[in-house]
Structure 1
Amino acid sequence: RVVTGPGDHNLRIWDVDKGTLVGRPTGACPINVSTCSLDGLTLASGSLDRTIRVWRTD
């Protein structure tokens, strides 16, 4: 899986093998940092509004 963060304030999770969108966690403010857990099931994002959000990717 790969996480992308285009300029529309959203993170997108992709299945690399299939080339398909897996999930789309969103944020209300521009996201300037993200990280994924080692098992790939949890994603955390930090935004310019000083919030941290934790997402389940399964």
Structure 2
Amino acid sequence: MSRHYKDTGARCVYCGQQGTTDNPITAGHIIPRARGGTNEPTNYQPECRRCNSSKGAR
């Protein structure tokens, strides 16, 4: 079961960092849309922009 991205205290699930002006927390897909994921709230998790950008469609 995934946690809603707004319920986690705004820390990246990958690196654990809090958001900053240069690297804010974004809502990343748990299952990428390219692999059949949806835009349902349960398919989002908090990720910093750096981690979200680096994972691509993995």
Q: TM-score normalised to the size of structure 2?
A: 0.30
Q: Which has the higher helix share?
A: 2
Relative contact order, CA 8 A, sep 6+: which one is greater?
Answer: 2
TM-score by length of 1: 0.30
Higher strand share: 1
